[in-house]
């Protein structure tokens, strides 16, 4: 029983992507294996036909339409306009510093809230249904305060 060469070796052999040693090994095997020779021939025919497809590709012309769709700016114009509109490192730093200062001042001015009791009972949990769903009968739709 003949042990065949792996298909990816034959595919790479077709593309001349094997080392000299590997190529020699494939050639020796092909000399004695009709099955692998047939597969290699299939690969060759396939590649030839694919190249014919390329040769058959029809012409196309989208130049005029594409140029008409291009924006008014040139790439170099866009780069320079982006440069002017983009923030510099200094501007980013100033923005971050402003936010931090605002937070610090706000924290200093606002009194801290300590242990405010949370009266959860005034918020009647209505379950998973949307609120309107429970209000079909008006008497059911109220918030019961804690007694």
Partner 1 sequence: MRQATDDHLIAQTRQGDRVAFGELIARHQAQVYHFSRRLLGNAEGAQDITQDVFIKAFLALDTWRPDAAFAAWLLRIARNACLDVLRAQQRYPQVSLEAQTEQLVAHSSSAEQHAIQTQRLEQLEEALSKLSVEHREILILRDIEGFSYQEIAELLDINTGTVRSRLSRGRAALIQQINGGATND
Question: Ramachandran region of residue 29, left (φ > 0), alpha (ψ -120 to 50) or beta?
Answer: alpha
Binding residue for partner 1, selected from 1, 3, 15, 125, defined by CB under 8 A: 15
Taking the C-alpha atoms of residue 30 and residue 16, their distance in angstroms, rounded to an integer, is: 15
Binding residue for partner 1, selected from 19, 32, 61, 137, defined by CB under 8 A: 61
CB of 80 to partner 1, least distance (A): 10
Taking the C-alpha atoms of residue 95 and residue 101, their distance in angstroms, rounded to an integer, is: 10
Separation in Å, CA 17 to CA 13, 20, 127: 6, 9, 67
Pick the stretch among 26-34, 46-54, 85-93, 119-127 that binds partner 1 (CB under 8 A).
Answer: 46-54
Applying CB under 8 A, the residues found at the interface with partner 1 are 7-8, 10-12, 15, 17, 42-43, 46-47, 49-63, 65-67, 69-71, 74-79
């Amino acid at each position: 029983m003949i042990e065949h060469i792996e298909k990816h070796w034959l595919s790479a052999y077709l593309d001349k992507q094997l080392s000299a040693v590997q190529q020699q090994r494939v050639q020796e095997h092909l000399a004695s294996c009709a099955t692998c020779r047939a597969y290699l021939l299939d690969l060759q025919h396939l590649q030839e036909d694919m190249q014919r497809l390329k040769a058959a590709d029809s012409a196309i012309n989208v130049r005029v339409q594409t140029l008409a769709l291009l924006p008014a700016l040139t790439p170099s114009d866009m780069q320079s306009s982006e440069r002017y509109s983009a923030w510099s490192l200094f501007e980013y730093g100033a923005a971050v510093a402003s936010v931090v200062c605002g937070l610090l001042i706000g924290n200093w001015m606002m009194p801290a809230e300590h242990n405010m009791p949370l009266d959860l009972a005034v918020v009647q949990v209505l379950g998973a249904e949307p609120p309107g769903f429970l209000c079909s009968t008006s008497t059911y739709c109220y918030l019961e305060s804690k007694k």
